[in-house]
Amino acid sequence: MPSTAPDPPASGFKWIALWAPLVITACGGGGGDGAGLAAAPAGSAGKPESTPAAQASSEPPAKPTPISKAVRTLEDLARQRELERDRVAPIDRGDGAPGQQPGAATAAAAAAAAAVAPNVGGQWAAPINWPINPIHTVLTPDGKVMSYGTDPAGAQGAQLYYDVWTPATNAHSLLQHTTRTDLFCSAQAVLPASGQVLLAGGDTRGVTPTVINNGVRDVNLYDPAAATISPGPPMQYARWYGSLVPLADGRMLALAGIDGTGAGAGVPEIYRPTLGWLTLSAQPDWPGDWFYPRAVLAPNGRVLVASNNRLFSMNTETPFITQIGTLPKVLNWSMPWAMFDRGKILLIAEDGGAMVVDFNGSVPIVTSVAGPGANRIWSTLTVLPDGKVLLTGGSSVYNELVNTAFSAMIWNPATGLWTTGNDAQKARLYHSSAMLLPDGTVLSGGGGSPGPVVNLNAEIYSPPYLFDSTGARRTRPLINTTPSQLTLGTNFRVTVASSRPIQRVTLVRTGSVTHSTDFGQRFLQLPFTQASGSANVDITLNESPNILPIGYYLLFVIDNAGVPSVGKILKLGGSMTQVANQGQSFTLPASTVVEFGTGGNWIPKTVTGSVSCKSDFFGGNPSPTVTKACRVLATKASGVTPGSAPATTDRTVASQGGSFTTTSATLVSYGADRRWVDKVVNGAGACTAAFFGSDPAPSAAKICVADSGAAPPAPPPPPRH
C-alpha cells in the first residue's frame, strides 16, 4: 500500500520573465475542402497570411470572459472544487433519459433528418451502454480500452471500479481493484518499457471519505496482461487534476494538480521506471494554472506549457521554467487542444477562436486560425490517421446543456479551415472523453458526475474517409506484416495488400484522454518508397526521440484515395548518443538527425556529410556559457567518422555596453542567465540591446558570448622561486 506519510508543503516553480519575442500571425477562413460541408465563419479565404511579428506582452487580454480567470489562488481553487461537487442528475445508459435531457431527442431526430452523406459528414453509430462513466480512457498496447472514473451508478469516484473494453467484440469487463486509491481525476499514461499504465494521484475520498476532492500521493500501475491494478511507488507531492507528460526516454513528468490540503501542488516530479520518482525541487513556484496543465515535449528537448494566455518553456534536466511569450486569445483548462504535427499544437480558445503554436524554432510562432464557434467548452480534439483533427462535444455554458454542440467538426491543417459533419445523439460535456481507436474510428463517451446528465454510454464516430459516395464502406488497405517493434534511426518494411498505391504512412501515439486533453497525443507523417505494383512499403524512421518519444504508436498506411488501413500498435524504442564535443567535427555517411546542446536544451538538424559541432553550424546557441556536445541516434553512431577539429568552449567577447569584432560570420549570443538572443555578426559588433534588436534580460547585467574557435589557453605556469 502506498505510504501515508504527510504531504510536504506545496511550492512550485520559480519562473523567469519573458526573454524573447513571440511571433504572432493571423489568418482568415473561407470555403471548406469537403463538398457539402459547412466551413466555420471566418475572414478572407485561403491559407494563413502572416502579419509582422509582435513583441510578446505579459499583460492579459482585455475583457476576459467569465471562465477565463486563471486557477492560481486558494480562492480560485476553492471555486473550482465547488464546481466539482457531485449532484443528482438523470442517468442515460444509451437509451436516453426521458424528460431529463431537454432537446436531446428532438436534436437527434433533426440530425437524422438533416444528415449529409457519410463520405461528407462521417457517421455516428447508435449509442452503446458503458458500465461506468469513462472520464479517463486509455488505449493499451493490446488494443483494448481501459477506462475509469465512477462507480456503476455513475457516482463520482473510481476508488474500486475500472472497465476493460475489447473493441473487436464489444465485450466489457467491469473489474474492481483492492488498493485504497480513488482514481477519480488522476492522470494516466502508458509506460514504454512495460506497457503498463501509470496512474498518478487521485482523490482523497479513498483515504479520508469525509474530506474529498483533494489530492493524494498514491501511484498505481495497471497491467493490461493481467487486467489488474497494483500500488506503485508514491509521489513526493499529492496530486489531483495533475498532468503527465511523456519525455523522450520513457520517463513521465508530473505537473501541478491539487495537493492534500486543497492548495496547488507546485513542485514537478519525474517518474523513472525501476528507479521511482525524482523531485525537481530546484523549481520552487509553478507559474501556470493548477488543473491539468496543457504541456508537451518540444523538439528542443524542453517541455512547452500553455496556460491562460501565456507560453512557458521548461527544462527538466537543469530544472527551470521560463515564460517565452503570450497568446492572442485565452486558453482555459476547459478548452481542448492537440499536438497535430511536428512541433505544432492546435488550441481552442474560450471565445470560439483557435490558435496554432509552432515551436519548432527558437521563437514560437502563433497563428490565429478560424475557430469552431463558442459552444465547445469541454469538447475534445482527436488527431486522425490522416493528420486532420476531429472536434466532438461541448456547449456554450460551463457544464450545462446550453447551445449544446452535437455536430462533429474536422479541422484541416493544410487549409486552417473547419468543416462540419453529422450530429451525435448524446451531449458530451464535462468528464466526457474521445479517443482514436486502431480501426480509425473515434470512441466518444461519458460526461457528467457532476453534470446535467450522467452519461453511462458511448458512441463511435466513423470519419468520412471510411465511406464512398454511395455511403458504403470503402475497401481499405491492409497491413499484412510489420516488424515486432520499431527503433529510431532504423528503416523498416511493411507489406500491404491494397488495390490502390500507398500515398502516406503515418504514426499516431496511442491515446490517453481525460478532461479535454490527451497526455501523449502526437502525429507524424513518415517518408517511404513503394515500387509500382509492389506489396513492399519501405519506411524511413530518421527521427529524434524529442520528436517521437519512445512508447506505443498506431502505424497507418493510407492509399491514394485517402483511405487508411486499420492501425497496427507498435512499440517504438531508441535513444541518442554523444559523438563529439563542442567544436569538434565529424562526418556522416547518410542523412541523419544530429542534436547540438546539453542537458534539456538541444538544437536538432538533419545533416549529411561534414558536421561542425558549433553554434555557427547549427544556427543557434542552446545554452550560452555552458559546454555543449553533439549527439546522433544510437543506431547511427557506428557510421560517424571523427574529424580533426579541436574541442572549443563558449567565451565572453564583450560585457554589456562594450564592443567586439569578428573576423568571419560568427553567431554571437547576448543576454544573461537563461535569457538570450542570437545574431550572426561579421565584423564590428556592440554588446547592446540596440545592436541585437531586443533586451532579453531587462535589469540584468548582460554579456556577449561566442564560440571561441579554440580551446581556452592553459594558465601560465607559476613563477619559479
pLDDT, tens only, 210-229? 888 999 999 999 999 999 99
Structure letter (DSSP) for residue 535: S
Among residues 511, 544, 572, which one ends one of the domains? 572
- What integer pLDDT is reported at residue 10 of this predicted model? 40
| Greater pLDDT, 54 or 296 | 296
**Within a 10 A sphere around the Cβ of 566, how many other Cβ atoms?**
18
143 in any annotated domain: no
User: Which domain CATH number covers 505?
Assistant: 2.60.40.10
| Helix spans in 577-622 (H) | 615-618
Rounded distance between C-alpha atoms, residue 191 and residue 91, angstroms:
34
CB atoms within 10 A of CB 647: 14
Q: Which helix (H) or strand (E) holds 386?
A: none
Domain end (from 553, 572, 591): 572
Domain carrying residue 644: 576-707
Which residues, 6+ apart, have CB-to-CB distance to 525 below 8 Å? 387, 504, 505, 506
Query: Per-residue pLDDT tens for 673-714?
Result: 989 999 999 999 999 999 999 999 999 999 999 997 544 344
Cα–Cα distances (Å) from 636 to 133, 193, 308, 576, 582, in that order, read 47, 22, 41, 9, 19
Q: Please state, in angstroms and rounded to a whole number, the distance separating the CA atoms of residues 334 and 186.
A: 16
Query: For the chain, what is the domain count?
Result: 2
Q: Yes or no: say if 511 and 197 are a contact pair by the CB < 8 Å rule.
A: no
Instruction: Let me know if residue 713 belongs to a domain.
Output: no
536 lies in some domain: yes
Q: Is the confidence at residue 715, as pLDDT, over 60?
A: no
- Beta strands in 48-127, from DSSP E residues, in sequence order: 91-92, 123-124
Same structural domain, 493 and 544: yes
Q: How confident is the model at residue 13 (pLDDT cuts 50, 70, 90)?
A: very low
One domain for residues 701 and 590: yes
514-543 b/e (C-beta count within 10 Å ≥ 16 → b): bbbbbbbbbbbebebebeeeebebebebbb
pLDDT tier, 22 (very low <50, low <70, confident <90, very high otherwise): very low
Q: Are 565 and 580 in the same domain?
A: no
> CA 189: distance to chain centroid?
12
Q: For residue range 616-647, what is the model confidence (pLDDT) as tens digits?
A: 999 999 999 999 999 999 999 999 999 999 99
For residue 31, pLDDT over 90 is answered with: no
- Contact status, residue 289 vs residue 305, Cβ threshold 8 Å: no
In terms of domains, do 696 and 585 share one?
Answer: yes
Residue appearing with cell numbers 486509455: 138
What is the reported pLDDT for 9? 40
pLDDT on residue 284: 65
Residues 563, 672, single domain; the answer is no
Q: What cell does 519 get? A: 497526455
Mean confidence (pLDDT) of the chain: 87
Least trusted range by pLDDT, from 103-107, 448-452, 460-464, 498-502: 103-107
Q: DSSP strand E in 648-701: where?
A: 650-655, 659-661, 666-672, 675-681, 684-686
DSSP tag of 413 = T
Check pLDDT > 50 for residue 19.
no
- Asked if residue 605 is part of any domain, the answer here is yes
With cut-offs at 50, 70 and 90, classify the pLDDT of residue 718: low
Residues 582 and 538 in one domain: no
657 and 549 housed in the same domain:
no
Instruction: Indicate left, alpha or beta for 154 from its phi (over 0: left) and psi (-120 to 50: alpha).
Output: left
Q: Place 70 in a pLDDT band, splitting at 50, 70 and 90.
A: low
Residues 594 and 689 reside in one and the same domain: yes
Judge contact between 687 and 674, C-beta under 8 A.
Answer: no
Least confident of 77-81, 202-206, 566-570, 684-688: 77-81
Name the percent of the chain lying above pLDDT 90: 76
pLDDT digits (tens, 9 = 90+) for 315-342: 999 888 989 999 999 888 899 999 999 9
Q: 4: which 3 cell numbers?
A: 501515508
Taking only the tens place, the pLDDT of each residue in 164-178 is 999 999 999 999 998
Query: Has residue 715 been placed in a domain?
Result: no
Q: What pTM, to 2 d.p., does this model score?
A: 0.89
The cell numbers describing 320, all together, are 527551470
**Is residue 170 in a domain?**
no
Residues 603 and 694 in one domain: yes
Inter-residue contact 653 to 708 (CB < 8 Å) = no
Lowest-confidence segment of 52-61, 509-518, 540-549, 602-611 by average pLDDT: 52-61
Cβ atoms of 40 and 29 closer than 8 Å: yes
Assess if residue 505 is contained within a domain: yes
Query: Is the per-residue pLDDT at 6 higher than 70?
Result: no
Task: Identify whether residues 558 and 586 lie together within a single domain.
Answer: no
Q: In this structure, is residue 372 part of a structural domain?
A: no
Answer for the pair 632, 586: CB distance below 8 angstroms, yes or no: no
Residues 554, 619 contacting (CB under 8 angstroms): no
d(CA 278, CA 445): 35
Task: Give yes or no for residue 109 having a pLDDT over 80.
Answer: no
pLDDT for 299 beyond 80: yes
Nearest to 510 by CA among 74, 39, 191, 205: 191
Residues 644 and 553 in one domain: no
Same domain, 703 and 581: yes
Asked if 205 contacts 157 with a C-beta cutoff of 8 angstroms, the reply is yes
**What distance in Å separates the CA atoms of residue 640 and residue 579, rounded to the nearest whole number?**
8
Whether 559 contacts 496, CB under 8 Å: no
Asked which of 532, 550, 572 is the last residue of a domain, the reply is: 572
Tell me if 672 sits within 8 A of 697, measured CB to CB. yes
User: Residue 1: pLDDT band by 50, 70, 90 thresholds?
Assistant: very low
